[in-house]
Structure 1
Amino acid sequence: MKPLLFAMFGVLATGLSFSTPSSAQLSDTLSPVGAILAGNKEGTIPAWTGGIKQPPAGYKVGQQHPDPYAADPILSTITTANLDAYRSQLSDGIIKLMEKHPSFKVNVYPSHRSAALPERIYQSSIRNAQSAELAFRGHGVTGAVAGIPFPVPENGQQAIWNHTMRYRGDAVEYTASRTAVQPDGSYDLAKLKRQVFFNYGRAGLEESDLKNTLFFYKHKIIEPPRSAGTSLLLKETIDQVVAPRKGWQYYPDQRKVRRLPGLAYSDIMPDTSGMLTADTADMYNGALDKYDWELKGRQEFIVPYNSYKLHGSDVQYEDIIKPGTMNPDLLRYELHRVWVVEATLRTGIKHPYAKRRFYIDEDSWQILMVDIYNAEGELIHYQEAHPINYYEVPLVLSTAEVIYDLTDGRYFVDGLSNQEDEYDFSVQLKKRDFTSAGLRREGGR
């Protein structure tokens, strides 16, 4: 068990300095997941008081989530004309996005620390702070069940594992669309029905029950007709160096399930028009062994947050998808503290992404932004996650994720569910629902 220490983090509005003890126990200064309870000295970031603990009055489970902050004014709008005044609080990726697409703007709203999790996840996180350890070379995690494994991270690997193992519900079923958007704004939507069974965060689970399994995922393409019925199944392992993820795909024209030979690192994710590598899904996922991970500390950044406007059922997909970027009038940005982690490709390792800089929300451990560089040091891609508090659970999850190609002007957006039934976190799923034989049976229906 780790010794009991009290942790206080130094936070600078500019720069990346921080103070972290070699081991620590959560104290009255930190939330159960390690966020600083206090707001900043300027008052532009409020204190965390538990987030959204209850849905708004009149909300019924299954409805599209009403925006609890719909009345908020825009505090400032950042454009290329006033960009210099905000550079220290913007990621390199969003700066380059604005420079490439001068019509893009960043509407900054009042900051709300809305993130919340079930009480049992908080209690698990507190226990994990005393027992969780990195496995050999950081390839996995031991001593953790449910909850955030490292509320007080000591290095970059621990911070990324916090994102990977954050609570996303026990199970979820939903339908959402995704598309690659061409520079002229043209696109073809693909609608997918998806199911996820989260193994790691389930109530009553012991570490011995995990069996190196993080979650099971499957989707079935509903539209367009030429692809309808194509299905994907994944078994996501925790230590993917010891046991890589397994993947199967069902092809309706062949009526066969085929094992995917590889689906990790820089392998291209199926049905993403070649724009999404396997390890960029969910902002980052999978093994950490190709990179050296440096924890830079916490800093105040303007980030996507409380994206209920983008999530609204009154929004059509053509309202969101515009040439060059998503519609900035539907995007909400706020000032928050984030952990900054920089990943540098190890010598002798091949991957098109030589460096990545991650910006991770301190309240939820959701990666909010990623700057992606090639071997020549050029900033080539930029990712954003636009999160909301799904307050019926509660938990924080992105309602849409986007990756911008900063060289050719394309982008890929996933998670568009405005015109679909809401995410169902109460769905009853079991491990036996996620087998290759079951994939074939479902594909034949």
Structure 2
Amino acid sequence: MNTRTMMHTTVLALSLLASGVMAAVSPDEAAKLGTSLTPLGAEKAGNADGSIPAWSGGLQPGAAPVAANGFLSDPFPGDKPQFTITAANVAQYKDKLSPGQLAMFQRYPDTYRIPVFQTRRTAAAPQALYDAAKVSALNTETVNDGNGLKNFEKSHNYAFPIPKSGVEVVWNHETRFRGSNMTQVIAQATPQANGTYTIVEFKQDIAYPQMMSDVSPERGANFLFYVKQEIVAPARLAGNVTLVHETIDQVKEPRLAWAYNAGQRRVRRAPQVAYDGPGTASDGMRTADNNDMYNGAPDRYDWKLVGKKELYIPYNNYRLWSTNLKYSDILKPGHINQDLTRYELHRVWEVIGTVKPGARHIYAKRHMFIDEDTWSIAEVDHYDGRGQLWRVGEGFQVLDYQQGASLYAAQTLYDLIAGRYAVLGLMNESKHYNQYGQNFTLKDFTPAALRNAGIR
């Protein structure tokens, strides 16, 4: 049974149960999905001056050629920037830029720029997910002060298509659709201030409980996904492997993580793979919860929903994704090569997370901007305990139009104080694109499997 058929079957079964569950939004509100709202909850109409067009269905499979190794080509190869924002003209556009973007112009006035292209609302997902979003809207609720989800099935993916709070918007980012079970090879770098860097290459297996034949709905009820990550380069780190069982309610059942150290040939529990624990092989330039722009339990923050605004955000970054580029084309001193990027004007949800009294995190505040069409975080500013803007995150979105999945061509995290940055998720020099449809079982994600993967 293929992925889309599996999702349809699950949705139909859940629809029969929906009438017996207390609704999260009213049926009248849920009826807006697919009418005045897109099927995933964005405003369907364009903005007043037409600079943001109406959503008309997004990119569909076959929108552009696919290479033999699976990589997707740019569906808009002829697009040119409409204008470029630089330190010289940034004041004209400051109302449509995040504080972090403005800070980047101050930190790198001679090199940081934002090329702005025509806005193309490319977001799309399989019909089964649109059907499931309506079920989520009617049923899913937060529990444990927003730290868990009630009446939620993982195949829905989008927990709150009509959100009422900041934490619900954060949950939409964490539960967005990213494709089926897959194996991928990605690269990370943490360039020094002078631009020198070492590529760290990861092989990742990612699986979802609802797509695994040996995980029952009961057994997988509080699990969002499983991931096994092996370092394959450089040689000094190769063979180290991390395994994560990502739970939904991490207060009720904390994230389960193990690490295999190739030098010691031992598997150990790894509670540091969470919150502000150091990101794997990142030279201290990112935290564990910086991966995917933000991940993990939301319990250490109070999340305030500010509202919506229009912002120039990285979007449709197929050029940055291109296999015609080498990592050396992208990685430059201070920040990535902005001439390879693409920004567009889109509506975003604005959410501010502030560390709760009595909780701790090296980021005292996170200021997030989440794309309304895909629920992917596009910009996130990180403040230290003194209230100073410290690190600026940018997520360079692409839509996998074959899968209907929102992905990143790159995720960057700029340290304004150190003058360095981390970039994660590069695939330009990988031999194969994400290999979807993997037939994983739970046995592939056990500590024993972790040890086997790391043997060298």
TM-score bracket relative to the smaller structure:
over 0.9
Residues 142 and 168 from structure 1, CA distance in 2 versus in 1: closer, same or farther, beyond 3 angstroms?
A: same
Q: What letter is aligned with 1:80?
A: A
Q: Which runs of 5+ in 2 are unaligned?
A: 1-21
Q: Distance in 2 between matches of 1:312 and 1:134?
A: 39
* Aligned counterpart, 2:10: none
Number of aligned residues: 430
Answer yes or no: is 1:38 the counterpart of 2:49: no
Cα deviation 1:119-176 (Å, max 9, x = unaligned): 1111111111000000121111111222311111000011100111111122121111
8 Å contact kept, 1:26–1:129: no
Question: Aligned-pair distance for 1:277?
Answer: 1.2
* Aligned counterpart, 2:409: 399
Q: Distance in 2 between matches of 1:99 and 1:397?
A: 29
Question: Aligned-pair distance for 1:269?
Answer: 2.2
**Residue among 234, 240, 243 paired with 1:224:** 234
Q: Distance in 2 between matches of 1:429 and 1:261?
A: 24
**Residue among 199, 219, 235 paired with 2:245:** 235
- Structure 1: 4+ residue segments shifted above 4 A: 200-203
Cα deviation 1:241-269 (Å, max 9, x = unaligned): 11111111111222211111432211112
* Aligned counterpart, 2:8: none
* Aligned counterpart, 1:435: 446
* Aligned counterpart, 1:287: 297
Give secondary structure in 1 for the equivalent of 2:408: strand
* Aligned counterpart, 2:316: 306
Q: What letter is aligned with 2:35?
A: D
Question: Aligned-pair distance for 1:231?
Answer: 0.8
Q: Distance in 2 between matches of 1:207 and 1:156?
A: 28
**Residue among 241, 245, 254 paired with 2:264:** 254
Cα deviation 1:52-92 (Å, max 9, x = unaligned): 01223543563321101111121110001001000000000
Give secondary structure in 2 for the equivalent of 1:269: coil
8 Å contact kept, 1:240–1:287: yes
Q: Distance in 1 between matches of 2:35 and 2:221?
A: 34
Q: What letter is aligned with 1:47?
A: A
**Residue among 324, 331, 341 paired with 1:321:** 331
Q: What letter is aligned with 2:141?
A: E
* Aligned counterpart, 2:106: 99
Query: Which 10-residue stretch deviates more, 125-134 or 194-203?
Result: 194-203
8 Å contact kept, 2:27–2:138: no
Q: Distance in 1 between matches of 2:417 and 2:131?
A: 45
Residues 319 and 60 from structure 1, CA distance in 2 versus in 1: closer, same or farther, beyond 3 angstroms?
A: closer
Answer yes or no: is 1:64 the counterpart of 2:71: yes
Residues 207 and 140 from structure 1, CA distance in 2 versus in 1: closer, same or farther, beyond 3 angstroms?
A: farther
Residues 263 and 275 from structure 1, CA distance in 2 versus in 1: closer, same or farther, beyond 3 angstroms?
A: same
Cα deviation 1:26-68 (Å, max 9, x = unaligned): 3610011101111111111111111101223543563321101
Q: What letter is aligned with 2:107?
A: K
How well do the aligned residues superpose, as a CA RMSD in angstroms? 1.9
**Residue among 274, 277, 292 paired with 1:264:** 274
**Residue among 122, 127, 134 paired with 1:114:** 122
Answer yes or no: is 1:367 the counterpart of 2:377: yes
* Aligned counterpart, 2:390: 380
Q: What letter is aligned with 2:97?
A: L
Answer yes or no: is 1:417 the counterpart of 2:439: no
What's the TM-score once normalised by structure 1's chain length? 0.93
* Aligned counterpart, 1:19: none
Question: Aligned-pair distance for 1:306?
Answer: 0.3
Q: Which runs of 5+ in 1 are unaligned?
A: 8-22
Alignment of structure 1 residues 19-34 onto 2, 5 Å: 26=33, 28-34=35-41
Answer yes or no: is 1:332 the counterpart of 2:342: yes
